[in-house]
């Protein structure tokens, strides 16, 4: 992708002009995106993404630039300009020769998407379309989106690191729209993985596609959720978005290093009730948020964040690690070469407890059962978060009763973590796209069924 | 700009490989950002990116591909992939390309002033802005962001039908985030400024606005759940419109039955106090542009006029289907992907009342100053939403204590119909990527959930 002598010249140019550390991130990525509406292919777009991001440090000051022009003059000039802008005055030590560390690839791919015919991808979409259309007459539209990407990265830095990685990802998104008496309700399900096309042999595509149609046709017939504070039981899988928003973002060094997180300075302290343990694990084989190395070239490893309610670790990248005097936890991630990396989540989830989900429901006198959740957001400095319930039911006297729609749940993360009082044994993960300082990245959320003793449910009175 | 040789090579290769009509979209951008933290420059970025996309059309079906590498191998790959994608397409829309008016505009939305600025100007600005924010109020404990940025974009669209359009634009902005604390509670404030020319950016004012926003929020509590009369502050009304208007007025969503409104215009869908336009040529907006991403000239149009539904937003294929002219509303995100229908500048006609007057008229209720979770808690197809919110209680016609941990739930058409007064306090939003120009509005009887 790039001649190492160009990378070396770029890094040296940065050092000569005042930087004390520099990094070159080169990316070549192929993408395909196909969308099908009601059984017809509406569009297909293929892309080639290619460029380099150069990052320089002088102490804790950093500068970043990217370019599509990877010729030596353009690269060394950009590096020099960035280094000068930090105002640093490093002695200009030259870099050692590049060494390639041995990195174990846990993410084997068998059917590379670039080598599979478009028609085979379309067949998978047709299966999904059939499944989604076989549920209810209330389903009036089915949109299937198929995505794949093959991202090749090479990272060089002034420590003498040279490392390559290939990340293959594929995802199928099924969105169903149901309509009844003038009301439209949409629901979606988007399984994805760090595999090639073999991913679609690991589950029943047709059956998976029935799920959003079932949800939409149930929700379109439901009344609005009630408004107010109540106990909420949150189902496994995508329910884990509550941890992602309520806690995950505020454990990223990006906020912690500035003191702009409600969890800053709380290592070793109790931050959650003792039934809660949580982990960020980028090493899960072929996981949606997995990779062999992070986007700073560090080999990934699991990171236990909370153990029985005690805060054990943050998610730390190199630059914030310098600011916090901590080691990187291999959490430096970025959307692509146009963003500098920063600390981000990978596959982040609450670990399994020992109650059966039915036991959690039957232990709840009254409340909301959030069976399926949409996305959310958070302000890390205040902990205020929100996320949307896409499939909800009322719980009455320990039983799930009528479906309700349209509720957003809100709370403050550090308060909510203390209010998780029951944790189930049915851990599951689901796939999401997470947006933050370094762009949109694939990330798994997950949890077993949990109960929060009280949350504000944003329904209607 | 793209050179003629490359353009001709791609267009003729596409035609040789089976495309009847082909179009090249080329975009190059420069972006610069810089931020201060704790009295020092914390980070900066300076980047140039460029890429091109190709659209091929045969028998009314289109295929797309884009690339950031422009060498022989990847140019051929670009053409091959666009053609394969075109062959896979079986949409019931008839795709076409725009021919006609040649637009070469490098001055309407471009001053060139930002590129001439010395870096020291940017450094001084963000450092002073951080300092001003800290000094504005003793309760400010942190300024996580004090930043300046500018961009320059150049777009070329040319096609086999003779179209050859070019425009260049630039703009700059300031962003400040503050955190205030009273020892019990932390509250954030956010403020920005934007301008076509750097000397119109007001960094000290922006810093003080963010500081006052966060300090005023302190002492916040939730409220009892119930129905309240509310004011959606100018920026909040802008965020709601940016979320709902694109889907609602997209001719494609309307034609597919996925919009909360139908094709028939002249229906009353809002209070007669409400008029909403798409105004693509406002100089102050950083989203303004002379033509859309299919090369069609942009123009002003009413979406809602005194409560009555007017024009929809059209691209080429949806206009063909409805037998009307395209409205210049096909937009895409850089050179990647394909165009989507969207407004350029969503502009709401201002009313006569200041925000203070609206508060007085409301008597008792809630002034909503921020909403969160628009990407998940709002459903553009049905118009329904349930969102986290913050604001201030209004009692006896006055803004009193700060309000947090509430949600606001309704649907956009009910909001439109329940507008009881429109403010005179219009504000331009940052381009995200659309710009909204909106006043505050007073709305009756909205569901609020809180802890009581």
Is the pLDDT score of A336 beyond 80? yes
Q: First CA to last CA across chain B, in angstroms? A: 60
The answer to whether residue B188 is domain-embedded is yes
Portion 42-81 of B in contact with A at CB < 8 A:
42-51, 62-69, 74, 77-78, 81
Percent of chain B scoring above 70 in pLDDT: 100
CATH number of the domain enclosing B100: 3.30.2290.10
Asked whether A331 and A346 are in contact (CB, 8 A), the reply is: yes
Tell me: do B232 and B204 sit in the same domain: no
Confidence band of A182 (pLDDT split at 50, 70, 90): confident
Tell me: do B184 and B247 sit in the same domain: no
Average pLDDT across chain B, whole number:
95
Asked whether B217 and B390 are in contact (CB, 8 A), the reply is: yes
Portion 227-246 of A in contact with B at CB < 8 A:
227-229
Domains: count for chain B: 2
Is the pLDDT score of A393 beyond 90? yes
ipTM score: 0.93
The answer to whether residue B320 is domain-embedded is yes
pLDDT digits (tens, 9 = 90+) for A113-141: 999 999 999 999 999 999 999 999 999 99
Average pLDDT across chain A, whole number:
95
Residues of A within 8 A of B408 (CB-CB) are 458
Which domain covers residue B154, as residue numbers? Answer: 4-216
pLDDT digits (tens, 9 = 90+) for B240-272: 999 999 999 999 999 999 999 998 778 999 999
Q: Which of A197-201, A364-368, B1-5 has the lowest mean pLDDT?
A: B1-5
Which of A458, A459, A461 would you mutate first to test chain B, the one with the most B CBs within 10 A?
A458
pLDDT digits (tens, 9 = 90+) for A404-442: 998 899 999 999 999 999 999 999 999 999 999 999 999
Whole-number Cα distances in Å, A235 to A361, A364, A369, A420: 10, 14, 7, 13
Which of B51, B84, B217, B372 would you mutate first to test chain A, the one with the most A CBs within 10 A?
B372
Tell me: do B263 and B406 sit in the same domain: yes
Closest partner residue to A40 among B68, B92, B373, by Cβ?
B92
The answer to whether residue B221 is domain-embedded is no
Is the pLDDT score of B2 beyond 80? no
DSSP H stretches of helix in A94-250: 118-132, 205-219, 241-243
Is the pLDDT score of A209 beyond 80? yes
The H or E element that residue B393 is part of is strand B384-395
The token pair at A170 is: 């594929």
Q: What is the model's pLDDT at position B100?
A: 79
- Helices A72-85, A4-16: crossing angle, 10 deg rounding: 30
Q: Which of B216, B236, B257 is the last residue of a domain?
A: B216
In chain A, what are the domains?
A: 113-149+166-222 (3.30.2290.10), 227-458 (no CATH)
Tell me: do B328 and B366 sit in the same domain: yes
How large is the average pLDDT for residues A46-70?
95
Is there a contact between B67 and A50 if contact means CB atoms under 8 Å apart? yes
Percent of chain A scoring above 90 in pLDDT: 90
Is there a contact between B388 and A41 if contact means CB atoms under 8 Å apart? no
Query: In whole angstroms, what is the distance from residue A214 CA to residue A139 CA?
Result: 9
Q: Which of B165, B195, B216 is the last residue of a domain?
A: B216
The residue of chain A nearest to residue B76, with distances taken between CA atoms, is A48
pLDDT digits (tens, 9 = 90+) for B298-349: 999 999 999 999 999 999 999 999 999 999 999 998 888 889 999 999 999 9
Tell me: do B397 and B271 sit in the same domain: yes
Closest by Cα among B139, B133, B142 to B203: B133
Which of B41, B387, B407, B450 would you mutate first to test chain A, the one with the most A CBs within 10 A?
B407
Cross-strand partners of A192: A171
The residue of chain B nearest to residue A220, with distances taken between CA atoms, is B382
Tell me: do B322 and B356 sit in the same domain: yes
Percent of chain A scoring above 70 in pLDDT: 99
> How far away is chain A from the Cα of B144, in angstroms, using its nearest Cα?
7
How large is the average pLDDT for residues A329-357?
97
Is the pLDDT score of B277 beyond 70? yes
- Report the relative pairing of strands A61-67 and A40-58 from DSSP bridges: antiparallel
Tell me: do B50 and B175 sit in the same domain: yes
Cross-strand partners of B155: B27, B167
> How far away is chain B from the Cα of A407, in angstroms, using its nearest Cα?
6
How large is the average pLDDT for residues A235-253?
94
Is there a contact between A377 and B372 if contact means CB atoms under 8 Å apart? yes
Tell me: do B185 and B233 sit in the same domain: no
Q: What is the model's pLDDT at position B292?
A: 97
Residues of B within 8 A of A28 (CB-CB) are 69
Query: In whole angstroms, what is the distance from residue B119 CA to residue A260 CA?
Result: 28
Confidence band of A92 (pLDDT split at 50, 70, 90): low
Q: What is the model's pLDDT at position B122?
A: 96
Q: Which of B168, B197, B216 is the last residue of a domain?
A: B216
Is the pLDDT score of A96 beyond 80? no
Is the pLDDT score of A192 beyond 80? yes
């Amino acid at each position: 992708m790039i001649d190492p002598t160009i990378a070396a010249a770029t890094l040296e140019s940065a050092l000569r002009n005042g930087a004390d550390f520099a990094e070159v991130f080169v990316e070549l990525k192929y993408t395909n995106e196909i969308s099908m509406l009601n059984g017809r292919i509406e569009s297909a777009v293929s892309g080639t993404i290619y460029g380099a991001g150069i990052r320089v440090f002088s102490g804790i000051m950093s500068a970043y630039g990217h370019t599509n022009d990877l010729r030596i003059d353009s690269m060394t000039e950009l590096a020099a300009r960035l280094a000068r802008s930090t105002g640093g005055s490093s002695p200009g030590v030259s870099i050692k020769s590049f060494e390639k560390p041995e990195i174990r690839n846990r993410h084997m791919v068998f059917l590379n998407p670039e080598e599979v015919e478009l028609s085979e991808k379309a067949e998978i979409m047709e299966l999904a379309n059939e499944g989604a259309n076989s549920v209810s007459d209330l389903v009036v539209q089915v949109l299937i989106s198929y995505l794949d990407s093959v991202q090749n990265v090479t990272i060089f830095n002034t420590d003498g690191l040279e490392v390559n990685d290939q990340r293959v990802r594929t995802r199928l998104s099924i969105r169903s729209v149901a309509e009844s008496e003038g009301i439209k309700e949409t629901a979606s399900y988007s399984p994805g993985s760090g595999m090639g096309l073999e991913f679609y042999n690991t589950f029943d595509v047709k059956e998976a596609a029935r799920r959003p149609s079932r949800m939409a046709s149930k929700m379109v017939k439901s009344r609005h959720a009630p408004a107010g504070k109540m106990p909420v039981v949150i189902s496994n899988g995508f329910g884990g978005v509550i941890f992602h928003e309520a806690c995950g973002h505020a454990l990223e060094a990006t906020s912690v290093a500035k003191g702009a997180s409600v969890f800053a300075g709380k290592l070793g302290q109790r931050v959650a009730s003792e039934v809660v343990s949580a982990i960020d694990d980028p090493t899960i084989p072929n996981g949606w948020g997995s990779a062999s190395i992070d986007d700073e070239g560090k080999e990934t490893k699991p990171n236990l964040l909370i153990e029985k309610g005690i805060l054990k670790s943050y998610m730390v990248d190199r630059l914030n690690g310098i600011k916090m005097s901590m080691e990187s936890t291999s959490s430096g991630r970025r959307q692509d070469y146009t963003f500098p990396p920063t600390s981000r989540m990978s596959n982040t989830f609450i670990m399994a407890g020992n109650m059966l989900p039915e036991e959690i429901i039957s232990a709840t006198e009254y409340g909301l059962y959030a069976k399926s959740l949409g996305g959310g957001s958070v302000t890390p400095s205040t902990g205020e978060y929100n996320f949307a319930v896409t499939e909800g039911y009322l719980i009455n006297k320990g039983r799930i009763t009528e479906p309700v729609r349209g509720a957003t749940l809100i709370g403050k993360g550090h308060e909510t973590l203390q209010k998780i009082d029951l944790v189930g044994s049915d851990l599951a993960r689901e796939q999401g796209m997470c947006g933050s300082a370094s762009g949109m990245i694939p990330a798994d959320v997950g949890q077993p069924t949990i109960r929060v003793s009280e949350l504000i449910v944003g329904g209607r009175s | 700009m793209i050179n003629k040789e490359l353009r001709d090579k791609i267009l003729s290769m596409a035609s040789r490989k089976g495309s009847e009509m082909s179009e090249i979209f080329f975009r190059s951008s420069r972006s610069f950002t810089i931020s201060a933290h704790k009295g020092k420059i914390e980070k900066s970025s300076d980047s140039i990116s460029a890429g091109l996309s190709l659209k091929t059309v045969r028998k009314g079906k289109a295929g797309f591909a884009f690339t950031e590498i422009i060498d022989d191998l990847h140019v051929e790959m670009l053409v091959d992939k666009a053609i394969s994608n075109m062959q896979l397409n079986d949409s019931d829309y008839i795709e076409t390309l725009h021919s006609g008016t040649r637009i070469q505009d490098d001055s309407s939305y471009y001053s060139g002033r930002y590129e001439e600025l010395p870096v020291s100007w940017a450094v001084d600005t963000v450092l002073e802005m951080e300092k001003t924010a800290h000094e504005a109020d003793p309760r400010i404990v942190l300024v996580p962001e004090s930043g300046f940025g500018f961009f320059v974009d150049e777009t070329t669209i040319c096609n086999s039908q003779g179209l050859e359009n070019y425009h260049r634009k630039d703009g700059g902005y300031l962003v400040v985030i503050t955190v205030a604390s009273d020892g019990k509670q932390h509250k954030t404030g956010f403020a920005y400024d934007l301008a076509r020319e750097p000397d119109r950016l007001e960094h000290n004012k922006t810093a003080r606005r963010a500081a006052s926003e966060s300090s005023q929020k302190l002492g916040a509590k939730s409220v009892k759940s119930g129905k309240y009369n509310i004011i959606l502050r100018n920026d909040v009304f802008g965020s709601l419109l940016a979320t709902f208007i694109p889907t609602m007025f997209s001719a494609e969503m309307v034609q597919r039955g996925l919009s909360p409104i139908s094709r028939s215009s002249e229906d009353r869908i809002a209070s007669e106090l409400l008029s909403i336009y798409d105004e693509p040529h406002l100089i102050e907006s950083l989203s303004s542009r002379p033509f859309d991403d299919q090369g069609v000239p942009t123009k002003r149009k009413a979406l809602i006029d005194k409560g009555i539904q007017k024009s929809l937003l059209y691209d080429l294929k949806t206009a063909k289907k409805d037998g009307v002219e395209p409205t210049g509303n096909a937009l895409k995100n850089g050179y990647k992907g394909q165009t989507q229908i969207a407004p350029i500048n969503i502009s709401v006609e201002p009313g006569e009342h200041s925000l203070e007057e609206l508060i007085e008229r409301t008597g008792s209720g809630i002034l909503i100053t921020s909403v969160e979770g628009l990407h998940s808690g709002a459903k553009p197809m049905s118009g329904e939403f349930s969102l986290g919110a913050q604001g201030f209680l209004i009692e006896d016609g006055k803004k009193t204590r700060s309000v947090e941990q509430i949600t606001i739930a309704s649907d956009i058409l009910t909001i439109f119909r329940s507008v009881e007064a429109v403010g005179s306090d219009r504000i331009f939003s940052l381009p995200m990527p659309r710009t909204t120009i909106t006043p505050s509005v007073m709305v009756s009887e909205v569901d609020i959930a809180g802890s009581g």
